[in-house]
Structure 1
Amino acid sequence: MAETQKATVVFGVLNETSQDETRVALTPDIVTRLKKAGVSCLVQSGAGIAAQYTDDDYAKAGAEVVAADDVIARADVLGFVDRPSAETVARLKAGTWVIGMLGSFTDAAYVDALQAAGLVGVAMEKLPRQLSSAQSMDEMTSQNSVMGYKAALVAANAYGSFFPMMTTAAGTIRPAKVLILGAGIAGLQAIGTARRLGAVVTAYDVRPASRGEVESLGAKFLDLGLDFSKGQGEGGYARQLSAEEQAAQQTAVDQKAAGFDVIITTAKVPGRKPPMLLTKAGVDGLKRGAVIVDCAASDLGGNVEGSRVGTQVTDGGVTIIGAPYLASEVSNTASNLLARNVGDVLAHFVHDGRLSIDLNEELDDALIVAGRPAAESKE
């Protein structure tokens, strides 16, 4: 048996547990995987508890469990579920790599701060998901899949009746009518989960290819009578619609939404303000007791006018759940997938026992390096 390569790159993970976050960017099985690639791991004590991983689990896998200060002082690379706070960035030594969802599409000041600190950032949101070699690194796909699954469960729990048709001695209860707006990774998972729960599911997306995907899962495709034949954006994401297209879409969706009991919205444009798919008029047109789960709710807005993070009930009795943190509510599975994404990104940049940015030009857009724009400078 060949000897395991001696670890020369040190990877560290901090405890990111908060009211909204229970995931961790490293799991014990990835500790073992990285060790074979020449990477040793440091884990802050307690980092995995919320995801059901104890310090002992990490130690048995070969990681060293230490205090946060030790992780920051000794790690060559830090992996994050989201991104390091400004306070954490200020504590990192120059040359440290940070891997995470860095918000590079919209937060230029944050990117500048990373560069000013002399850090090397790998922005997970900029990894080319259409590239086969990068698909195992695609955090957006893995976490959106978990989010879509959980969104259907949250909706079913909040809805005041059954999802499936139920025949009882007291009569027959009709199945819930569920509308999924956005048929990307999260939307498709929501479709599949809602159908397994017995709901009658309809879905809509501006991408032409989505009709076949929706129908392949046994759902109906919502016909708005509109043609967004160029709805496909780069990397498989939906493109940003023009103002005129958004207005036409909103009007049509508002009118169609009134016939549904549950609406789940999942349409995100990575790093940018999410498109509004359901206006206040559409919400007001829903029947009392209807439930909306807006997975795109954020500080930038959501897919539903007036939605915010958390739960609210309108004067008309419609429950709106702004739920951007749903992946964290499936913390164990979400962490398993996320850790694989982060681990594969790290392993890609480890060569001959050292970190190198000059390995694959196809991933250059995701790099944030002091002194050079992404995709231009080399080590």
Structure 2
Amino acid sequence: MIIGVPREIMHGENRVAAIPETVSKLVADGAVVLVEKSAGEGAFYHDDEYITAGARILDDAAELYQKSDLILKVKEPQYNEALKIHEVDMMHKGQYLITFLHPAAPVNHEMIKQMAEKGIVGLTLDGVPRISRAQNMDALTSMSTCAGYKGMLMAANYLPKFVPQIFTATGMIKPVNVLVIGTGVGGLQAIATAKRLGAIVSAADIRKDAAEHAKSLGAKVVDLGVPDEVAVGKGGYAKTLPAEWLEKEQNVLRETVSKMDIIFCSALVPGKLAPVLLTDDMVASMAPGSVIVDISIDQGGNCFSTVPGEV
């Protein structure tokens, strides 16, 4: 089997799908591994490390796609500006692709259709169930943890004020108010990080069990009032709410949103479009300089105003 690891081309994406240690294991198992030149540079893995691990370095992405039976990527296929061609158009029938495809996101629908038309087999990592049998393949939980931690640090960095309560010779600065919407893996990590930074943290989730987890980390729970039979689906995951219940949830959040300095959005429904929970008028009610981080953007986003990849 020939496995290809292209360089990620999404704006701001520095991760790489396989590190040298992984490559050496694949080679030891008999695979031929092709790595695009500089694919690991953004993650501080250099070409000579991949060569030592047994990989072949290719300058041309098109050649890598053409020769590979299996492609390993971090993000879904993108339009390659340098080559003036979409990555899907460099792929071929019968080829396998393992990555985060996020097929529920509207922006990816056409790309998914093109893959199907070309006979490309996509295995999406955001579709791996969170069960014991699949634990060693659960990249989504790992990345959600990273997003929760780093996303809250980014919010604190963009916020034009101190996060914790600070006492000075001239007076006291109050701690900031943070709201985390969606308390799954990413949301819980965001809560823990905000608490460590010294913020006053509130949290909201339509699932009562998830809200209890947030409470155990010291967050004040905003009761959204959605019954379990409406909110919770198979495996304890959130369900897509009927329009009337979504509107009720928005109205409850509206009372809290205007008081927040940071809002962290991470509410998702597996395999579905993320619910829009922050409307334009809710965003407008926040104080100037407030920050919203929306890590649900790969599935459409929880905030109506969120633009993918932009600040």
TM-score, with normalisation over the residues of structure 2?
A: 0.87
Query: What secondary structure, in the 3-state scheme, does the structure 2 residue paired with 1:218 have?
Result: coil
Q: How many residues align?
A: 301
**Which residue does 2:153 correspond to in 1?**
153
Distance change (3 Å), C-alpha of 1:75 and 1:288: closer
The answer to whether the 8 Å contact 1:183/1:205 transfers is: yes
Letter in 2 for 1:245: W
Question: How many angstroms apart in 1 are the aligned matches of 2:75 and 2:186?
Answer: 18
Q: Does 1:94 align with 2:87?
A: no
Letter in 1 for 2:69: D
What is the percentage of aligned positions where both structures have the same residue?
Answer: 37
Letter in 2 for 1:119: I
Question: How many angstroms apart in 1 are the aligned matches of 2:96 and 2:301?
Answer: 32
Deviation at 1:108, TM superposition (A): 5.8
Question: How many angstroms apart in 2 are the aligned matches of 1:82 and 1:182?
Answer: 23
Deviation at 1:227, TM superposition (A): 3.1
Question: How many angstroms apart in 2 are the aligned matches of 1:112 and 1:123?
Answer: 14
TM-score, with normalisation over the residues of structure 1?
A: 0.72
Say which is worse superposed, 232-241 or 172-181, in terms of deviation. 232-241
**Which residue does 1:71 correspond to in 2?**
64
Question: How many angstroms apart in 2 are the aligned matches of 1:133 and 1:63?
Answer: 30
**Which residue does 2:120 correspond to in 1?**
119
Deviations 1:228-251 (A, max 9, x none): 313223454321111011000101
The answer to whether the 8 Å contact 1:178/1:201 transfers is: yes
Question: How many angstroms apart in 2 are the aligned matches of 1:109 and 1:303?
Answer: 22
Deviations 1:301-331 (A, max 9, x none): 53223332466xxxxxxxxx5xxxxxxxxxx
Deviation at 1:271, TM superposition (A): 4.8
Query: What secondary structure, in the 3-state scheme, does the structure 2 residue paired with 1:98 have?
Result: strand
- Structure with the bigger RCO (C-alpha within 8 Å, sep 6+) is 1
**Which residue does 2:36 correspond to in 1?**
44
Aligned Cα root-mean-square deviation (Å): 2.4
Letter in 2 for 1:28: P
Deviations 1:312-357 (A, max 9, x none): xxxxxxxxx5xxxxxxxxxxxxxxxxxxxxxxxxxxxxxxxxxxxx
1:182-261 superposed matches below 5 A: 182-224=182-224, 226-230=225-229, 231-261=231-261
**Which residue does 1:21 correspond to in 2?**
13
Question: How many angstroms apart in 2 are the aligned matches of 1:141 and 1:94?
Answer: 31
Query: What secondary structure, in the 3-state scheme, does the structure 1 residue paired with 2:86 have?
Result: helix
Distance change (3 Å), C-alpha of 1:123 and 1:294: closer
Structure 1 segments unaligned to the other structure (5+ residues): 1-8, 312-320, 322-379
Q: 2:76 aligns with which of 77, 80, 83?
A: 83
Query: What secondary structure, in the 3-state scheme, does the structure 2 residue paired with 1:269 have?
Result: coil
Letter in 2 for 1:233: G
**Which residue does 1:347 correspond to in 2?**
none
Question: How many angstroms apart in 1 are the aligned matches of 2:278 and 2:86?
Answer: 38
1:1-379 superposed matches below 5 A: 9-67=1-59, 68-85=61-78, 87-105=86-104, 109-129=110-130, 131-224=131-224, 226-230=225-229, 231-297=231-297, 301-309=300-308, 321=311
Letter in 2 for 1:21: E
Question: How many angstroms apart in 2 are the aligned matches of 1:291 and 1:69?
Answer: 40
The answer to whether the 8 Å contact 2:11/2:309 transfers is: no
The answer to whether the 8 Å contact 1:254/1:283 transfers is: no
Say which is worse superposed, 53-62 or 118-127, in terms of deviation. 118-127
